[in-house]
Amino acid sequence: MAAFESLSNRLQNVFSKLRGKGKVTEDDLNEAMREVRLALLEADVNFKVVKDFIAKVKEKALGLDVSKSFTPGMVVIDIVNKELTELMGGTQSKLAKANKPPTVIMMAGLQGAGKTTTSGKLAKLLQKGNHKPLLVACDIYRPAAIKQLQVLGEQINAPVFALGDQTSPVEIARQSLQFAKDNNNDYVIIDTAGRLHIDEALMEELKNIHQIVKPDEVLLVVDAMTGQDAVNVAQSFHEQLELTGVVLTKLDGDTRGGAALSVKAVTGCPIKFAAMGEKIDSLEPFHPERMASRILG
């Protein structure tokens, strides 16, 4: 799999030099950290995030006095592993659940990020947990978005609430909640409109939907392949909409990993899911510790 390939290779090179060492001097550590820093920057990780990360690892390594350990290289690798995990949120951040069903999940994101596809994937994931999700077609502007959601719904046998493209998204969202209650749908996934860029009209509409449905989750779908742009998009959305989580898509094509490693640290918003392919079952809950281990190989 392509995810993090180049970063992973770079880090493995750095650590293979450290691993066998019976003694790690401060110079060795500095050299290794210099290379880790370069690898992270090359992976398109946010500059400040890299700086803080390196400082933390160094502080811990020096604090533990790794030079006295029998396997100092392994100790350093372990510290990096833990810090990478922390960087991506520490522990898995689970989907919220409403006290009284339905749990309402609002999906947001720029056009092409994978919002509609991810809505279908999330519904499928919920079905696997014996839930009855309802998909709601509020993207009335992109030609064929409604149809796309309906096709996805048919594929997984999940109901899709749509009122065409002449009713306002706010009204569609409002009516969908009643539909969910009447039909015992315990999760409502609202696919909202995306635009090519963040603009006022888009944010205004999202805020209006937010106000009406009072979502338990506001998930921002971002394309991991766009690196720091994805992080900037997340930052802008978060300032206006109070996101509860991020979904990273296209990790299968992301050889660098900059978005995955920066988005939590920059926005404070946890990554809740990762999508790694076009298939309907390619969405997974995001596990920071597993991702860190994968990066370190």
Residue 138 vs 275, nearer CB to ligand GDP: 275
Kindly write out the interface string for residues 148-187 of this chain, putting x where it contacts ligand GDP by CB under 6 A and - elsewhere: ----------------------------------------
H-run or E-run covering 136? strand 133-137
Verify binding: residue 95, ligand GDP, rule CB under 6 A. no
Q: Which of 10, 115, 264, 272 binds ligand GDP (CB under 6 A)?
A: 115
196-to-70, 168, 172, 230, 250 alpha-carbon distances in Å: 54, 20, 22, 13, 18
The reply, when asked if residue 109 is annotated as ligand binding, is yes
CA distances from 217 to 93, 198, 246, 259, 272 (A): 12, 20, 10, 21, 10
The stretch near ligand GDP (CB under 6 A) out of 175-183, 201-209, 245-253, 258-266 is 245-253
In angstroms, what is the minimal distance from the CB of 1 to ligand GDP?
11
Q: In whole angstroms, how close is the CB of 112 to ligand GDP at the nearest point?
A: 5
* 249 is an interface residue for ligand GDP by CB under 6 A: yes
**Binding map of ligand GDP across residues 202-221, x = CB under 6 A, - = no contact:** --------------------
Quick one: tokens of 294? 């994968």
**If you compute the radius of gyration of the chain from its CA atoms, what whole number of angstroms results?**
21
164 within 8 A of 146, measured Cβ to Cβ: yes
Question: Is residue 278 part of the contact set for ligand GDP (CB under 6 A)?
Answer: yes
Least separation, in Å, of the C-beta of 271 and ligand GDP?
13
Count of other CB atoms within 10 angstroms of residue 109:
27
Give dist(CA 187, CA 231) in Å, integer: 28
Examine residue 113 and tell whether it contacts ligand GDP (CB under 6 A).
Answer: yes
For residues 189 and 131, give the distance between their C-alpha atoms in angstroms, rounded to a whole number.
12
Both tokens assigned to 187? 């999760």
Q: Which of 253, 255, 284, 285 binds ligand GDP (CB under 6 A)?
A: 253
Q: Which is nearer to ligand GDP, 210 or 250 (CB)?
A: 250
Cα diameter, the chain: 71
Return the axis-axis angle of helices 5-19 and 72-87, rounded to nearest 10°: 150
271 part of the interface to ligand GDP, by CB under 6 A: no
Residue identified by tokens 């450290």 is: 18
Q: Which region among 30-38, 65-73, 110-118, 159-167 touches ligand GDP (by CB under 6 A)? A: 110-118
CA distance 161 to 175: 9
Binding site for ligand GDP (CB under 6 A): 109, 111-117, 194, 249-250, 252-253, 275-278, 282
